[in-house]
Amino acid sequence: MPELSMTLRLTLTFVLTLALACTGISWTLYRALSGELTWRDDVMLVNRANQIGQLLQDGAEPQSLPLYFNRMMDTRQDILLIHTADSENITINHTGVQRRLLEAIPMQNEATIRTIARTTVDGTQLSAVRLAVSGGEGPLTITVARLASERKHMLEQYRYNSVLICIIAVLACAALSPLLIRRGLRSISALSRLTADTDSRGLRQPLRVSDLPAELKPLGSALNVMRRKLADDFARLNQFADDLAHELRTPVNILLGHNQVALARPRMAEEYQQVLANNVEELEGLSRLTESILFLARAEHHAIRLKKAALPCGEIIAELVDFLSYSAEEKQIAFAVHCSGEIVADRVLLQRVLINLLSNAIRYSPDRATIRITTRAVGEQRAIEIANPGEPFAAPENLFNRFWRGDNARHSPGYGLGLSLVKAVMALHGGGVSYRFADGQHRFTVAFPEERR
């Protein structure tokens, strides 16, 4: 089933809301009008019954009342019966209501709204009051009634007019709503065109949120936030592409130079073997670079599944220190390890993080230095700190950027991706990595969250 457009959905909503509102208002007003008309008729009926009874009690002749009654009441819908003691009666009834219905009404001593008797005659309400009074000629019975024919006609006409007006209002709403809605949605169309026309060069230019209606300003602000993020992502992507091209250019040029020199003239087999060995070394470096870049890309998209386990810090670090002992012995570097407790992490990735940090510490520490490795609890995290002596960095804020290498690392092997990998791995674990220089020591800290069991 095709999805309804926003214009159609809003139109249906408006039409349904208007129909319900018109129905509710018309019904409420109809009930109020019906109640008001019924109350007025009841008050008039009671007052007239009491007036006629009072006239008879004051000695008025029953025969004189019809003339007074004709002036006071509408004979087309009002009824008057006066019964004397000798069964003589005065009857004014032009409505066609049968007399037996009137004689069946209970006798009352006083006419009030509560004592009014009601019945229905051919679908029209009949209201009546029957009183017993004492006249000059003895006891009398007065019956005053009203057949609500005019009230019924008035209410029917009101219902007809209300339904007609509601239908006209609903049809007008159904016809005008799409036009008004489309006019109101022009801002969305304009916003859509601006978004569709945006390219990487225009992301830095924010949309003018002030020109949007109040309902669309949050959307415009959100789009501006998205544009800024996209602009930052494009800038990082461009910078990454530039850095990657720069890093790839050096080994490719080396490979090209080696092969061109080798092919310049015939050479001995040993010379060709040396060229191939050099090529293999450069290709291994390119392979490691490619692997690191792919790992960073997968880590940023959380496409790496972690195999977390509770790992003993002391045992893991002791293995890595033993593995790196040969590199450390060349510079007579010692390790001071003070580690305890467990860390919940992926064993392979944890080893990769620590090897990167320890290798950097060995590479950039002076001879006969001491590298200190400690663990401690930081809030709800377990932290490992690696400290080694050295000179402060000129721009420590760039340490974790890809391909960035400090001045003291320009002439050392590597591509400047080690700390970027550390940062990516810590993000996968929900932790973090930080750096500070204090007391002549470079201090790198990796913090892993402690998972509750």
Contacts 24+ apart (CB under 8 A), 250-257: 251/282, 251/285, 251/286, 254/278, 254/282, 255/279, 255/282, 255/283
Task: Write down the mean pLDDT value for the chain.
Answer: 81
| Band of pLDDT at residue 268, cut at 50, 70 and 90 | confident
pLDDT of residue 409: 47
Mean pLDDT throughout 61-79? Answer: 72
pLDDT digits (tens, 9 = 90+) for 25-37: 999 999 999 999 9
290 pLDDT above the threshold of 80: no
Q: How do beta strands 370-378 and 334-338 pair?
A: parallel
Nearest to 256 by CA among 273, 275, 269: 275
Give the relative orientation of helices 217-263 and 269-300 as an angle to the nearest 10 degrees. Answer: 170
The dotted CATH code for 6-157 is 3.30.450
171 pLDDT above the threshold of 90: yes
Mean pLDDT throughout 130-136? Answer: 80
CA 442 to chain CA centroid, Å, is 46
Mean pLDDT throughout 187-191? Answer: 78
pTM for the complete prediction? 0.51
- Dihedrals phi, psi of 401, to nearest 5 degrees: -80, 150
pLDDT of residue 1: 54
Q: In CATH terms, is domain 308-449 a member of 3.30.565.10?
A: yes
Q: How do beta strands 89-93 and 78-83 pair?
A: antiparallel
Please give the share of the chain, as a percent, with pLDDT higher than 90: 11
410 pLDDT above the threshold of 50: no
